[in-house]
Amino acid sequence: MGSFPPLQEGESLLVAGRWQHHQRYGRQVAVEHWERILPATEEGLKRYLSSGLIRGIGPVTAEAIVKAFGMKALEIMEREPERLQEIPGIGPKKAAAILESFGEYRDMQDVLVFLQGYGIGVGQALRLFRHYGRQAVDRVKENPYILAEEVTGIGFKTADSIARKMGLPAAAPARIQAAILFTLSEAAGRGHVFLPRQLLTEEARKLLLIPGEPLPDIPMEEHLEQLAGERKICRETTADGEIIYAAPYFYAEREVARRLARLAAAPRQLSSSRKEEALAAVAGKESGLTAEQRQVLERALSCGVLIVTGGPGTGKTTTIRALLSLFHLLKQKVLLAAPTGRAAKRVSEATGEEAFTIHRLLEYSHIEGEGFRFLRHAERPLEADVIIIDESSMVDLMLMYHLVRAIPAGCRLIMVGDADQLPAVGAGNVLKDLLDSGILPAVRLNHIFRQARESLITVNAHRVNRGEMPYLNVRDRDFFFIEEAVPEMVARRVVQLCCERIPNYGPFDPVADVQVITPMRRTAAGVERLNRLLQNALNPYDRRKSEVTVHGVTFRLGDKVMQIRNNYQKEVYNGDIGIISEIDLEEGLLTVTFRDAAVDRPVAYDFSELDELTLSYAISVHKSQGSEYPVIVMPVITQHYLLLQRNLLYTGITRAKKLVVLVGTRKALAIAVRNNRAEERYSYLGHRLRREGETIAGRDGESE
């Protein structure tokens, strides 16, 4: 939407969504985009007041306000706000809430008018307003490029477009340096901790290209030097050439290596007799431990850092349970944690021990005036003798940095996970790097237990991991393949499976038990299209159900939704799945009920916060990490060629507890099985860890 002139007296901005009344049973609201309109009629004024962004005013309250005050309603709300209480049903408390929201709304209008003048869409404008509040305009004028650094969802191109319209030259230092920093940020989003210098400069130059204009000569070295001097980037020369980090990742990688090497080298004092007694007691309690699992217990008593890895059915959870028993017998304080709420809940249920998310373990909290911080750190470490981290493949570099800083001297760290799964969504490949370093002791669990061998899910997961085709369509088993080549037909088959065939095959609820996972987002059988199809099939429009549409996504009462970013205030985290249990159009609130440890927990969202949610009938394979579902349905088609990788297929299969159904072609399945070339992530953690280990060993040798 282009720019438009300033508002004239008496004009306002309105969310151009329309309320549609379905007789007296239900309502629907759409919140799509902002338009400049004049509420010239009482009907228009009602639409303005009930637009969904003024909390406490829905259609009924808007009707009452306009009936009482007519076209002077806005003037009265601004100049005589106490008169709102003249309206039946509006007491002091509700009036105060309405007026507070109305004030925020008017502030937001001013910001949106300015930003739309620079071509910024409503979604991005709302994010800016939530981030900066009424200071948004000043921050943009001061330095448009700060938006790309600080505001989620706003990239360099948007910031650059604003800066160029403000008259900033193409060769301005602020523009070039912003392109360098944004390139490193984008690389981190793809999992890279650093970039080789040549690749960094090539990608930054591409960002700086302006169609129809020659790219000016850019003294890249000069700008790199300035950024390094300001400690925004760090440069290091390796055997392969120069590498460049955004500064936080450099310091994090260096600190993780240093602290892990120190933890691993610290001596562990425990008498032989006490060890033997404890090991014997645990072996008696946990009968049937394999030689590998017993080796884990023995090494856990002598190592400061231990890695335990293995595929499905190899007894990782049993091993964690045995470790807990062992250290409890030795009167050691043990803390158990996992990267996500879902993973923490799963290991807690399996072991009977309280498990935390790593963020909760480190007391991630909001501090007035400082934002969110970890309250456990080097100056205030955790109080523990042993820390066990499950699902360690999901731990990225920055989270690992905050974890190791909070581990006290003399504490043991045990990391458990499947190194063959997809790496963490964030930057780094921590578990793989630690294993590849060769510095830290590790035990791989290879024995597949008999009960697990009876499941084709487990058998086929291991076959895929070895580069072998899975067994398909064995009668009366739990792993099926449906041949379908055309992507549109694959999507239809997936919907039919979820709605009819799987619920009829077993006692599976199509919403609660069946999870569709797919490699890509925007394809005929991708996340976005499958969500629309499954929503229409499993929770279709019903005039008795309220719904709200925000930026093209309709959220309906009863929909299955996922939180897509961590929200520590609400205590919901990226990947948490729940059901929409209430939509209050009067208050502009939507409630999602999440299930935590068999307890239903309702969480309320203001309509302006709905960009934190997405439909989750279908999710990406990456979003499924750390979770288990009774049934997995997964398209495997050549249209997803870019992501047909062995570790992605393996991760998808291992999310299922009772049934896997793949839909697609054998050709696509074979491509995925053969393709073991997962995208390389630029990381130097393994090298740093080896170097730190050699340094510590050298010091020990000198002291002797």
Alpha carbon 74 to chain centroid, angstroms: 41
701 confidence band (pLDDT: 50, 70, 90): low
598 confidence band (pLDDT: 50, 70, 90): low
Residues 588 and 53 sit within 8 Å (Cβ to Cβ): yes
Q: What percent of the chain has pLDDT over 90?
A: 49
291-302 vs 316-329: helix axis angle to the nearest 10?
40
Residue 200 has pLDDT above 90, yes or no: yes
Nearest CA to 689 out of 429, 511, 317, 509 is that of 429
Segment among 420-434, 518-532, 636-650 with least mean pLDDT: 636-650
State the DSSP code for 235: E
Cα(612)–Cα(235) distance, integer angstroms:
35
Q: What is the pLDDT at residue 702?
A: 58
693 confidence band (pLDDT: 50, 70, 90): confident
51 confidence band (pLDDT: 50, 70, 90): low
690 confidence band (pLDDT: 50, 70, 90): very high
217 confidence band (pLDDT: 50, 70, 90): confident
Q: Supply the mean pLDDT for the chain.
A: 85
Compute, in degrees rounded to 10, the torsion defined by CA atoms 464, 466, 470, 476: -100
Alpha carbon 64 to chain centroid, angstroms: 42
Q: Which residues contact 415 (CB under 8 A, 6 or more apart)?
A: 305, 306, 307, 308, 389, 392, 395, 431, 434
6 confidence band (pLDDT: 50, 70, 90): very low
pLDDT digits (tens, 9 = 90+) for 544-587: 898 888 878 899 999 999 998 878 778 887 788 999 999 988 77
Residue 652 has pLDDT above 90, yes or no: yes
Residue 117 has pLDDT above 50, yes or no: yes
Most confident of 118-132, 151-165, 244-258, 330-344: 244-258
pLDDT digits (tens, 9 = 90+) for 19-32: 332 322 333 443 33
Segment among 387-396, 603-612, 690-699 with least mean pLDDT: 690-699
Q: What is the pLDDT at residue 336?
A: 97
Q: What is the pLDDT at residue 52?
A: 61
Classify each residue of 222-260 as buried b or exposed e, where b means 16 or more C-beta atoms within 10 Å of its C-beta. ebbeebeeeebbbeeeeeeeebbbbbebbebbbbbbbbb
pLDDT digits (tens, 9 = 90+) for 70-85: 888 888 887 888 888 8
What residues pair up with 373 in beta bridges, in sequence order?
A: 365
13 confidence band (pLDDT: 50, 70, 90): very low
Residue 619, exposed/middle/buried by CB under 10 A (0-12, 13-18, 19+)? buried
212 confidence band (pLDDT: 50, 70, 90): confident
pLDDT digits (tens, 9 = 90+) for 376-435: 999 999 999 999 999 999 999 999 999 999 999 999 999 999 988 888 888 999 999 999
* Average pLDDT value for residue range 257-284: 85
pLDDT digits (tens, 9 = 90+) for 248-259: 999 999 999 999
498 confidence band (pLDDT: 50, 70, 90): very high
Q: What percent of the chain has pLDDT over 70?
A: 90
Record the tokens describing residue 102, joined without a space.
């109305």
Higher-confidence position of 81 and 460: 460
Record the tokens describing residue 101, joined without a space.
């929201």
Strands in 26-31's sheet, in edge-to-edge order, are: 20-22, 26-31, 547-550, 553-556
Q: What is the pLDDT at residue 470?
A: 93
Cβ neighbour number for residue 273 with a 10 Å cutoff = 8
